[in-house]
Amino acid sequence: MHFDSLAQKEQERVFIVWFQTLLKDEPEQLACGLAGKHRPGNGLTAVRWKTGGYNVTFRVNYDDGFQAIVRFAALGQSLYRTEKVGNEATVLQYFRKNTNIPVPRLLGVGKIALAPYIVEEFVEGELASGPFMESRIERQNLDSNVGEQKLKVLYREMAGIVLEMSKPEFTHIGSLVQTENEYALGRRPLIKYVNELAMKANLAPQHFPTSNSIYTTSVGYFGSLVEQHMAQLRNQRNDCVKDEDDCKKKIHSSLPHA
């Protein structure tokens, strides 16, 4: 289903206002202060590194050669920002302790007036996808001139990560929480689609599971997703359906089938 174009424009406006506010607030000094709080040092300098789909990121350099990344969760890109950052921090720690997936060391997590943030150790390297993508176009595609052997190397690396991610086993469906040195599922699964429904379809919080909801079966979890699909059909104001027939088709496709 298409999302509400007016809601999307409003979120874009919110992000622009938030981003301009961040830039006026000496963000490099702000990033240095937060990095220094969680990893003390001297001679800190920072530069804006990347702006992704959900975060604005600064790279912080120390005079002893250490480097850190400070990521601010962007307003207008993510609605449940504090929950998102908390989940990311917990997953990073879990992967680092329980898998062979190479992830950066978590230095700290917190919240300031502008945004929740996360501080990580910077890992020097190059994007694995870099040599394989066409760089001449804005929307990058796989370069058709890449040899088969190079592709095998790339796919082997990705398959190794997916394999590692498949090894942890849990009895419920949800998001990880940490209690002392143990990890358990204690919060709702905050997936990308929930964020999109909240921001681009203008669904209110009551249409989503409560923050401490977890699922004991896949049937219960997928049933919750169906309810969210139906809530979008009932409550999204613009662009959801073209006409009556289109609405009927989407309702039918959203319902579980025997």
List the alpha helices (DSSP H) in the chain: 5-24, 27-38, 81-98, 148-166, 192-200, 218-235, 244-254
Say which CATH superfamily domain 5-125+169-254 falls into: Phosphorylase Kinase; domain 1 (3.30.200.20)
d(CA 209, CA 206) in angstroms, rounded, equals 7
Can you give the pLDDT at residue 258? 44
Q: Count the helices and strands in the chain (H runs, E runs).
A: 7, 7
Task: Supply the pTM of this predicted model.
Answer: 0.86
Q: What is the mean pLDDT of residues 215-228?
A: 94
State whether residue 79 is helix, strand or coil.
coil
pLDDT-based confidence at residue 141 (cuts at 50, 70, 90): low
State the amino acid at position 28 in one-letter form: E
d(CA 20, CA 8) in angstroms, rounded, equals 18
Q: Which secondary-structure segment (H or E) carries 42?
A: none
Nearest by Cα to 195 from 185, 184, 208: 208
pLDDT-based confidence at residue 135 (cuts at 50, 70, 90): low
d(CA 258, CA 254) in angstroms, rounded, equals 13
Domain boundaries along the sequence of the chain: 5-125+169-254, 130-166
> pLDDT by residue (tens digit) across 229-257?
899 989 999 988 888 888 888 887 777 65
